[in-house]
Structure formats: C-alpha cells, structure tokens
Structure 1
Amino acid sequence: MFDQISAINRSHPQPPAAARSQSPPPAAHLFEADIRSPHDLIDDRPDDGVFRVHRDVFRDPEVFAHEMRSFFAAGWAFVGHASQLPQPHDFLCVELAGQPLVLMRDAAGRLHCVHNSCRHKGARVVHHRRGNRRTHVCHYHGWSYGSDGANIAIKGKAEGDYTPAFDAESHDLAAVARFGEYRGFLFASLDADVPPLDAWLGDARVFIDLAVDAAEHGLELVPGAVSYTYRGNWKLQLENSTDAYHFSSTHPSYLRLLERRSRMPQRTDVEAAIWQAGKKQQEMMGSFGFANGHALVWTTTPQENHPLYPLLPALRERFGERRADWMLRTRQLNIFPNLQIASNAALQMRVIRPVAVDCTEITSYCLAPVGEAAPQRRQRLRQYEDFFNPSGLATPDDTVTYEDCQRGFASGDIEWQQGYARGMGRLVWGADAHAAELGIRPTTSVSGSFEMSDETIFHALYRHWAARLRKAAA
C-alpha cells in the first residue's frame, strides 16, 4: 500500500484567487503523480480549498515503519544539546531510529556522535546514560575506546595472531554518517545522503537564533529532564504544540485558574496578563510553514512578565526594536521530525521519540540563559513547572487527548481528518509582512486574531512528509 502515496490532484495546485497574494513557489507543489491507489494519504488541493490527511497516517504500522526509515534514519534528526556535555570527556547516550548512539566530547573539546556498539562482537560499550570518562571498556572482551570513540587497545592483541587484513581495518567505534551542530543544537543522520545542516534548517534557523541571541552568554539546559510516554502517534505531539484551536476546549481548568489569578492583588504571572489581553481581544497570532517540514506559530502577548523583560532595553540596543520584540513573543517552533522549542515565557525544549505507531516518548527540558540572574531564573522555572510536563496544569490534558484520538482512530470506516482547514482563506504563499520583518521567506504565511487558530501550519509538515516517503518508495 505504502508505495502508492500520491496526491489526489493530478496537476500543480494553485491557491484560490482570494488567498493568493503572490504566485505559489514551485517548492510548495510536491505532488504530481497520477492516482494509482485508493489509499492515497494526503489530499492537497489548494485550488479547491482542500487539505486533508488520511487517518492511516496515524494508525498504520506499515506507515510507521517507513517513517522510521525515512525520517529518523535517513534524515537529519535532533540528538542533543551541547550544554549537556560541557566538559572534556563528557558523554551522553541517546537513541536514533532504534539505534543506540553516544555523544562524546573529547580531550580537545570536540564533539562526536558514534554508535554505542563494540566493533568486536557488538555489545554496548557505554552503559550509563551520561557521565565523564576518558576511556570506555567493553565488558565482553575488553576492547577499549577513548572519549573520541577511537580504539585504544585490543585486549591480547600481540598474542592474537591477527592477519594484516585485520590490522588494516578501523577498530574505532563507528561514527554516524552525518553529525552537525547549529548554535548548540546537535543533529545526526544515519545516512550520508542528506543536505548540509544549515540548508536543511533553512529559515527556521532564525527562530533558533532569536532564542540563542537573547541569551548574551548562550543557552544551557537547566539540570533535570522529564520523560513520559503516551499511547498515541508521535505526530499528535508534533501537531499539538502549534495548535491554538484546542486551547480553550482542552484546558478549561487552566484557563479558570488564570482568570482567578488575574483577580488576585499584586499577582504578576505572565499567564494572568495573557489572559487579560486575550479577553480584550489584543492578541494576534500567525504562522510560517517552511520547506523540509519545519513550522512556527507566533503570538503577541504582554511582555512585562517575561523573564527577559528586564533586559529589553539592552536587547533593543543590540538587535533593534523589531528583533527584540520578536524575542519576547510567544513562539512555538517545530524542527522536523523530533524537536520542539516552545517560547511561552519559559523556554522549553521537547524531544519526540516514536516507540510504536501508537506509543510515543517525550523528554522535555527547560532552556535558560547562562548566568541568568536568580530572580529571573526562579520566575522562569515557576512558569515552566506551571504549564508543562506531567506534573503541570496543561500537559496531562494534552496527553489524555492524544490517547483519546488514537482510540478514536480505531473507527476504521472514517478515513479522512477534517482538521487542516482553518486559516486557508487567509493563506499567503511566501512571506507576509511579519515574515518580512525578520527577512525570511517561508513557504506559507498566515496571520490574524488568536481566535482564527490557524491550521494551515500543519500543511508544511505533511507536504514534506508525503514528498519524502514518495521519494523513498520510488
């Protein structure tokens, strides 16, 4: 079934005249093949105002298997943050597409990403999740490796009577095919046939830059991480972080709490201020869809209770008023396929690890400026704890809803989701005025009131998703 992925339309789609502010770029048109199967998974017809996703995208194990090969093995994926390995000889065990990897920082401070598998008989060499070691010794036959993954010694080498052919081979821990860093964010690919990292990130880099540049001495992960699982497809999380439409119906208890807080004397929570602004219809929102499946939703919110607010004059002096304003906006960034950076006052990083078609692990971290003043760090942590994670006031609502969706997908007679239409009448192909402020050219732009709750933000994800899987099936 899977090699029949194609779009419903047989020709290049064009946006309807009402939504067309400029001609759509060729990169936006990823579907050209004729219909060859009733099991097409993406129905992308902007000329007719239609974008739909088939429910098999979330429930078919065969689809999931192809995703793991095409996105998590054969493409760039996030594997860690440089601040997790601050010292020479630090290491961190991670997993990519089910394969065990180790991030290592060698004696000279260089970062490496290698397979956590001894070259002799395949046993894992590193067993602790993280730590600091100059050497790593395999427990099985005693082969040893340095903090750069290079083989140091083969036990009993002199007595082994090895052939010259064996000596000619590399015995180092095998490096991943591609490994790269952008502003402290580390990415790897198990396939060498990927574009350069900067090109793959494209204009989504600007929003990583906003987060990093706002921290004069760089970003760090606050010690501690939270991992949890839910019984649902991994793309439910990828969608949800950029989904404004669900907020009022999924999180009513949180909204009631914010309303009560807003009435408390001398209460200065940023969420209470946001609540008041929302009631006054002062909020705006917008979205950018990028090539390679990346996407961002932004919202204008009150700045006075943002942890960076005391630094706003300095930020304006360094970066200009417009860029400083963007640094204090609420931003939800998806770096396809597995990294989310949420700038809801507190700066949160989520890493998505698909376990099965209906099981996903999420690990979340709080990102903060290095050397942040104690009052701002305390404020940041309270905001992070308030909303995010299983102990927060909103994440449990989301994860329960993901599981509810996955159970609903068992209704096999229902084929198509109808959750991708909001905002299509306002869609701009290319850059709108908000994108122009940052000098970026996304594939699509949308902006309007918060109540619009744009869903075109999901289109970039699924256009890239379908294009990559069609290419893999060819």
Structure 2
Amino acid sequence: MSKSVSTMVGPQLLSEGRLPRDIFWSQEIYQLELERIFARAWVFIAHESQLPHTGSFLTTRIGEDEVIVVRNRDGRVGAFLNSCPHRGNRVCSAEVGVARGFVCNYHGWSFGLDGSLRGMHESGSYDREPGFDRSRLGLTPVAQVEGYKGLLFATFDPSAPALTEFLGDFTFYLDVMLDNDPGGTEFAGGCISSILGCNWKIAAENFAGDALHAGWTHASGAEAMLGGPVATLGDEANESYHVNTNGHCWEFNLDGVGNAATLGDKRIMNYLREQRGAFEARLGATRAKMVGSVSSANVFPNFSFLPGQNTFRTWQPLGPHKTELRTWVLVNCNAPQEVKDAWRKGAMLTFSPSGVFEMDDGENWEGSTHSNRGFVTRQQPLHYGLGLASRVDHPELPGNVYRGQINDANQRAFYHQWSKMMSSTDWAELLDKGPHDDTDR
C-alpha cells in the first residue's frame, strides 16, 4: 500500500495538475489515513476557553479514536482515549461538562482527571490477584498535547516534532486570527455538529484553496445576504495569494473586510474599521488587511476556518464517504459583547447546517464523493491544474507563495503533504523527505 499511495499521488502527477479519484472512495486508503495521518499528525482538539476550570472537559475524536480532553488539577490540559482498559466501554458519554473524575458504567472502574485508575467495583477482588498493578491500567493518554495562542493540538505519536515545527511558517498567518488583539481569543457559544455524506478531504481542500467556487456556488446566498454577487476574486488590481507550508494552506486577498461583509452586520464592520489601526500596529500593514478579508484556510489535516466569518471547524472522518462537521465561532476576548453576539448570529446565518452558504457546499461535496462509486468513473483523473507555475517570491509573506486567488496551488500542496504522510512509515522517514517540494516551479 505504501508504494501504491506514493505513486498514486506523487509530485509528477500533481505537477501536471491531476489527482486520482480512488483516494475519495477506497476503504483501504481510508484505513491507512487513520494510521498514517490521524494517528501521527498534530490534530486540533480544543480551544483553551472551552476548559476554563479544573475538571472542565469535552469529548472529541482524533480520526475515529474517541478522546477526552480535560483540565487537570495542576492546571494543564491532558487528553486520553475515551475507552476503559477493562472491557473498552466509554468512560464519558457527555459532550462537555465539569467532573471530578470519570467512571465506566460497565464495571465501575473510576479514573482521575489525570487518567489514573482510582477505584473499581469489588476492588478487593482485583487487589488479591497476584501481579495486579493499578498504575498500569489508567486511561491511555495521547502522546503529546501542545497549544498555540489558545488553540490546543494533540498527537498520538511520541516521535512527532514539536507543534511549532509542524506548523512552521504558518504561525505567521495564524496570528492574523489569533493575535490581532492583546486580549487573545475565545470560542463564543457552543459547538454545532452536523453530518455530511462526503469524504473529509473534499471539505478540507475546499477551505485550503478553493476560492473559485464562491462566485458560482454561493451566488444565490450572496444575493440574499448582500443584495448582489460575491466580490470578484483574483483581480490583478487587488493583491491576492495562495500561501502554504507543510500542507497548511491559506488563500486570501487584501480587501480588508470582504468575508466579514457577507454577514451583513454593521456592528462587525464598524468594529473592524475601528480596530484597523491597532491591527496594523500589531501585525503590520499587510496582515492587518487580511483580518476579515475574503479568504479561507486549512491547518493540515482537517482544521479549517474562514477569517471574517470567524467560523472554525473540524472535518471528523467517519469512513471514506461520511464526515462529521463540528463548528465554533472565534472572537476576540476584548470585543464588545454585542459584536461577539453578532459574529455568532452571522455564522448561524451563513455557515451552519441551515446557513445560506453551507447548504450549497454540502450538496456539492456529497455529489463529488458519491459520483466515485462507479468503477469507470474512478478511472478518470480529476483536474487540479489552475495556477501551474504561479509561484512568486514575496518580500513579506513566508512559506510557499503563489500569485492570485483563483488557483489550485494550495490544493496541490494539501495533497502533496497527504501523499508524503501516507507513503511514510514513521516521522523519521517523513522528515527525511524534507519540507514541501514545490512542484509548481
């Protein structure tokens, strides 16, 4: 499988702008993704604001592995498999809450906030068994948990590089959302969960770089929200780019408030205009224009967001043809409450299960997945050839930079990283392959 995946989506194929369809349909490829991507990559698990107190917890998934994320008594955040080591039952069925520990419903095994085994029903029976060692029967922890400016990530692989190395130059762009205000950020409200009948990669790559669809797919939604079409993208008079590093991707122009405008709320627009000077002082002139601009981004593998609409989401795989979408709204802690409420309401109007834009996307992603059920159809490669040879050098923007917003450069970079991870047996081999090899030069 390693060799076939490497040749299936290799640099040569991507340099020609082609992609095979099997990667969206094959169960065998999907199982390898769970092993080589989700069991090894740094994956977003929570925002610090979701865990304000000792015992605050939430449940999530990394790939299809169920995980409890909890703030321990020492103030640090830990993450553990949500599976009792006795018979495998979940030890926590709630989505969020505050707890002193976790107890398995099946046989009464109880665990502390640090994951350690604290007690059992009929514990004396166990303690009389020779060689019984409670210290070896706690909840299985993830290998590493690290944060970046409020966002928390985890990896199951103890040999994975530090989070900052995994993110690389992409932190320069993440700061547009996470560090434009000294008060930091928080998630406003709760989580919206919905199920899509699509492959997780189709949604992730859309946010990585597919600005092309906006003017066509979302034309009716833009008419409803704005009374007119989505702003023209890729205009040479308006600077626009694709940037990526290590498979993390951001496409944007520098219009300042384009995405925020689609929410149709003057309170948000006024807030962004009032803060523009502070953004520029903190981020510089170029990145200040990215705040609220027409743009989208994906942190490899499955963590996406829309600057301006402030919707943050994960594409949780549930098989090759099914994805759970979990959505939150990110706001600056120092923003007025009415502005936070406006962003939350705006996200519900646009990018929620009943939102004017999200329904358009979901239908297209499901169609793009299920068309591949046919054997003959799967033999036809897909076209990812926009923007070949569009790489440019930029005096301010780090990473791999490409000219224009109407481009497939970021999607090619996303699949290049996917191919590298799928064809590498461990992090040592993956790191030996070096950073993203630019196939677009």
TM-score, normalization: structure 2?
0.86
Counterpart position of 2:266: none
Task: Provide structure 1 residue ranges, at least 5 long, that are not aligned to the other structure.
Answer: 8-39, 263-271
| 2:293 is the alignment partner of 1:340 | no
Q: How many correspondences in the alignment?
A: 415
Within 5 Å, give how 1:92-171 maps onto structure 2. 92-158=58-124, 160-163=126-129, 165-167=131-133, 169-171=135-137
The DSSP-based 3-state class of the residue aligned with 2:376 is coil
Counterpart CA distance in 1 for 2:249 and 2:204 is 10
The equivalent of 1:285 in structure 2 is 240
Q: What is the CA-CA distance between 1:367 and the residue it aligns to?
A: 0.6
- Distance across 1 between alignment mates of 2:275 and 2:236: 27
The aligned runs of 1:234-253 (5 Å cut-off) are: 234-241=200-207, 242-253=209-220
Residues 159-179 of structure 1 deviation map (CA, whole Å, 9 limit, x = unaligned): 645356323743322211222
Offset of 1:422 from its aligned partner?
A: 0.9
Spell out, residue by residue over 1:48-105, the C-alpha distance to the aligned partner (whole angstroms, 9 max, x if none): x612111111111111111111111132222222211111111111122322210111
Match of 1:327 among 275, 291, 311: 291
Matched, 1:200 2:153: no
Equivalent-residue separation in structure 1 for 2:345 and 2:125 (angstroms): 61
Paired with 2:126 and 2:226, the residues of 1 have a C-alpha distance of 74
The answer as to 2:12 corresponding to 1:44 is yes
- Kindly tell me: are residues 100 and 168 of structure 1, through their superposed partners in 2, closer, same or farther at Cα, counting changes over 3 Å? closer
Residue aligning to 1:422? 386
1:363-416 deviation digits (Å, cap 9, x = unpaired): 111111114213422432343233212211111111101121123223432434
User: Aligned partners of 2:152, 2:215: CA distance in 1, in Å?
Assistant: 35
**Counterpart residue number, 2:424:** 471
1:100–1:115 Cα contact (<8 Å) kept: yes
Q: CA RMSD in A?
A: 2.7
2-structure distance, mates of 1:412, 1:41: 19
Q: Report the secondary structure of 1:194's partner residue.
A: coil
Is 1:461 the counterpart of 2:414 in the alignment? yes
Q: 1:112 to 1:421 in 2, by over 3 A?
A: same
Farther-moved stretch of structure 1 (129-138 vs 167-176): 167-176
What are the within-5 Å matches in structure 2 for residues 2-401 of structure 1? 3-7=3-7, 40-42=8-10, 44=12, 50-158=16-124, 160-163=126-129, 165-167=131-133, 169-241=135-207, 242-257=209-224, 260=227, 275=231, 283-291=238-246, 293-303=247-257, 305=269, 307-343=271-307, 345-401=308-364
Q: Which residue of 2 aligns with 1:447?
A: 403
Deviation, 1:248, is 2.0
Change (3 A) 1:319 1:472: closer
| Aligned equivalents of 2:95, 2:134: Cα separation in 1 | 32
Query: Which residue does 2:437 correspond to in 1?
Result: none
Question: AA paired with 1:239?
Answer: E
Distance 1:319 1:98 in 2: 37
Aligned 8 A contact 1:286 1:297 in 2:
yes
State the identity as a percent: 27
Q: Equivalent residue for 1:32?
A: none
Give the 3-state SS of the residue equivalent to 1:179 in structure 2: strand
| Cα pair 2:117 2:135 within 8 Å, conserved | no
CA separation of 1:43/1:320 partners in 2, compared to 1, >3 Å: closer, same or farther? closer
Q: Which has the higher contact order (CA 8 A, sep 6+)?
A: 2
Amino acid at match of 2:342: Q
Distance in 2 (alpha carbons) for counterparts of 1:212 and 1:81: 11
Q: Deviations over 1:320-354 (max 9, x none)?
A: 434433334344221111101210x2211010111
Tell me what 1:404 maps to: 367
Question: Is the 8 Å Cα contact of residues 253 and 290 (structure 2) preserved in structure 1?
Answer: no
1:417-446 C-alpha deviation (Å, 9 max, x unpaired): 343111113223xxx22xx324x2x1x321
Tell me if the contact between 1:44 and 1:52 (Cα under 8 Å) persists in the aligned partners. Answer: no
Equivalent position SS for 1:6: helix
Which runs of no fewer than 5 residues in structure 2 stay unpaired? 262-268, 430-441
Opposite residue 84 of structure 2, the aligned amino acid is: C
Counterpart for residue 25 of structure 1: none
Q: 1:384 to 1:168 in 2, by over 3 A?
A: closer
The more displaced of 305-314 and 197-206 is 305-314
1:210 and 1:321 map into 2 onto residues whose CA distance is: 11
